[in-house]
A and B are shown apart, each in its own frame.
Chain A
């Protein structure tokens, strides 16, 4: 059931970092280049419209070049010596709360940097073609650069507060990009929704930072991870749960998953880069980085596993019923990240595989999203899969690249997903049978809905609308997609060859070999069989049978899945309406009670003085009467005192 105990406790993030020397002093350039690009494009404005997009591409490519050089330099070092920090300046110095502006690069952040800059640059190039008809292309690239800079800051930060800065930055960039076409009401609303739901998650991160300061007295990685095993269980569990909440917000896990499907309102490159490959993986990065905390808090780990499992199934079910190609892919993203979160929650047996799957998922999901963008480009921005069909005949390159991604996500060897997903399923079964079965079921459903998607789009008969003339997309768009498709095909094999990825990441997150009660081959073949069967079922249902152009009513489960398993309805009922009632009540309270008290006091005083002034009636005899009354009171007082 549990990984072998009694062995050496894995070193989790405790490799000591050295001060940056040589080529590692260029760490800050990784962030500075895209930030500069964003500044140029956003501050100089329309003057840069003609050449702005190339600046964006250049900056992203520059970051990628530096990342590759750093990677090669890091490979020269030995396993435990690959962490470097660069101190830029002292950011906060208040009493005992010291937060330096430090950047840290180790194996974990290196793979993320490569993913972000690599996939990012490819998507930048793709966007040059995809957004060529948009007048605001320059602004788009400014925001993309901003996003890349923030995401790099997130993974390169050496303390949680700086990570939070990057965290907020990617949230901002996501909002700006989802609502890029802000004049469309649906886009603006979706952007707002994404930001607000992210905010709820951000509460988790800020609470975690505060708790860390209270518990450990420091928020730097060194300070936290060194003291993690010594802190008391309650604090660690609370920190772990708070971090989980943050991860749920950013990675669209249950219960903060409602924003991801709406985020598809943004342009397709945005969906590919942010909501498939990079931003939504920030939650997984956070959990993997905080492995020291989670290892010491088993309750938090169990919570992580539960959340991951729920979202896994949820995303898969939603993906089955969506007719919008991007929303179906978004459901798939939600589900795959559920896999990663689940793997991260398994502890040292799963961290490496979570990151591994993160990398491969980045490749194949980006491939599929960009492919979907190509399909939309050819079909006049149509997204309804019921109006697609038989596109393999006209869009050959798109079909081939998309299939590469499709096979990868299914887990068909030798494509990438086979290696990463199978390792996760293996680790899940090593943890407990129940978790393993959940992952297996998820794999089956994944195969089904992905086959449905592919069948409805590329196979079957054409159901195109009359004005559609589907054509292949230009080379500017298809070359990056092809590169990504190639990576989807080979990256899994390459990364796991000689256990390279395991050895690379082990010094940072720790690794334990998962122990199965049975032969691992049984698991592999069994998984493959189930996946093939599900795919065949999907093929029969959607490629062989005609697909109705108008969606049929469907069963209760289908209707529920179309309504995102009522996620929005729950949010509305539990949070939005009570919040609205509360604010309405407060407005009423302010108007009636508070203003009423103030105005009432004024009115009271006014009324009283209105009455009181009538005693001054101008008659001397009335005044004399009052005087006599006063004199009588004085005499009475004297008499009483004498008594």
Chain B
């Protein structure tokens, strides 16, 4: 089978994640869509590792995972803090930086 299939799958998942970020209003669901995009990148890295025949891609995917975890921690803490003061998890409520 064509190893590029994995890449196509990764592209599809990435696009779906992008749509999700733009369309959903709940901050936590948006964050989940970002995680989906990161997973799609991981898949691409791993399949490239397989295509090129060395493990560098897998190592990079590993580091992506680490960074994603750290990011989730801080991001959710921020969302919690915002929710505590604003009583709402909708992203559209935080629009004070408008013209």
Contact = CB atoms under 8 A, between A and B. Distances in A.
The answer to A–B direct touch (Cβ < 8 A) is yes
Interface of A: 613-614, 616-621, 624-625, 628
A616 B22 contact: no
Contact of A618 (B22, B23, B25, B98): B98
Contacts, number: 31
A42 to B, nearest CB: 68
B99 A620 contact: no
Contacts of B22: 621, 624-625, 628
B97 A616 contact: yes
Contacts of A620: 91, 94
Contacts of B98: 616-619
B92 A621 contact: yes
A621 B18 CA distance: 11
Interface in B64-99: 91-92, 94-99
29 contacts: A613-B99, A614-B99, A616-B97, A616-B98, A616-B99, A617-B95, A617-B98, A617-B99, A618-B94, A618-B95, A618-B96, A618-B97, A618-B98, A618-B99, A619-B91, A619-B98, A620-B91, A620-B94, A621-B21, A621-B22, A621-B23, A621-B25, A621-B91, A621-B92, A624-B21, A624-B22, A625-B22, A628-B18, A628-B22
A616 B94 CA distance: 13
Which 6 pairs from chain A and chain B are nearest by CB? A618-B98, A618-B95, A613-B99, A616-B99, A618-B97, A617-B98
A101 B99 CA distance: 73
Contacts of A614: 99
A628 B91 CA distance: 18
A613 B18 CA distance: 25
B16 to A, nearest CB: 13
Nearest to B18: A628
Contacts of A624: 21-22
A454 to B, nearest CB: 91
A618 B25 CA distance: 14
A620 B95 CA distance: 8
Nearest to A610: B99
Contacts of A621: 21-23, 25, 91-92
A625 B21 CA distance: 9
A498 to B, nearest CB: 103
Contacts of B99: 613-614, 616-618
B59 to A, nearest CB: 25
A613 B99 CA distance: 6
B86 to A, nearest CB: 14
Interface in B32-90: none
B24 to A, nearest CB: 9
Nearest to B99: A613
A110 B91 CA distance: 104
Contacts of A628: 18, 22
B14 to A, nearest CB: 10
A628 B34 CA distance: 13
A619 B21 contact: no
Contacts of A619: 91-92, 95, 98
Nearest to A631: B18
Contacts of B97: 616, 618
A626 to B, nearest CB: 10
Name which of A613, A614, A619, A625 has the most chain B CB atoms within 10 A of its CB: A619
Nearest to B15: A628
